[in-house]
Amino acid sequence: MSSMASSTTFFAPIHDFTRARRTPTTTLPPLPFIKSSFASSKSTFYHPALSLQPSSNFPRLFTKPKTFSVHARAATEKTIYDFPVKDIGRKDVSLSKFKGKILLIVNVASRCFFPGLEILAFPCYQFGMQEPGSNEDIKQFACTQYKSEFPNFDKVDVNEPFTTPVYQFLKSSAGGFLGDLIKWNFEKFLVDKNGKVIERYPPTMSPFQIEVC
């Protein structure tokens, strides 16, 4: 199985993410959550569909979903590697370092976390105000509370009016049930070894149901 890279990525031309905080534009209700325990690698997480530990609810073998109404569009000439991003420290990062790897790109919030899988994770404040902290707060929270070792990226907007370019690319490559709109944290985009978007999954989709080989 191909390895995935875990992080929070933003593809550019880089926006200025230092602008004043805006009121979240999405008004969907927060996902239900359960009490979490992080005492070991067998911990449970906020929502069953976001858990990255095997359980009786999910098969151990990865199986490809069949009915999520995902409408993949014709591939564009661009790839994910064409979009520069900034890491959590606001330093420029080239995504070409991930060439040859299958990537799972996810918009996440540290208060609704999703540890365990190697991903490219983009913190976002547009859903239920679950990511109110600064980049340093996010980094500290991920490292101390979840022992996160994957690279973290700059906080982004995934929906209008200030959608970051990398998410414009992702959404234009694979529309969802509500069109381009990202519905909530943990919307997932699977990117192949050549930097092309090959599938899009809803927030409730468990990583254990995603076929990556």
| pLDDT beyond 70 at 182 | yes
Nearest alpha-carbon partner for 149 in 170, 174, 128, 121: 121
Nearest alpha-carbon partner for 54 in 7, 111, 117, 110: 117
| pLDDT beyond 80 at 104 | yes
For residue 126, the model assigns a pLDDT of 56
CB atoms within 10 A of CB 12: 17
Looking at per-residue pLDDT, the higher value among 73 and 203 belongs to: 203
Query: Using CA atoms, how far apart are residues 210 and 103, in angstroms rounded to an integer?
Result: 12
Query: Using CA atoms, how far apart are residues 80 and 98, in angstroms rounded to an integer?
Result: 10
| pLDDT, the chain, mean | 61
Q: In this structure, what are the phi and psi dihedrals at residue 209, rounded to the nearest 5 degrees?
A: -100, 5
Locate tokens 């534009």: which residue? 25
pLDDT digits (tens, 9 = 90+) for 57-101: 444 334 344 333 334 444 458 899 999 888 878 889 888 988 988
List of long-range contacts for 19-24, beta carbons under 8 Å, 24+ apart = 21/125, 21/132, 22/162, 24/125, 24/126, 24/127, 24/128, 24/129
Query: What global pTM score does this model have?
Result: 0.54
Domain ranges of the chain: 48-209
Which residues participate in catalysis according to the annotation? 112
For residue 176, the model assigns a pLDDT of 64
Q: Which CATH architecture has domain 48-209?
A: 3-Layer(aba) Sandwich (3.40)
Locate tokens 């926006």: which residue? 15
pLDDT digits (tens, 9 = 90+) for 133-161: 566 665 555 544 554 555 677 887 888 88
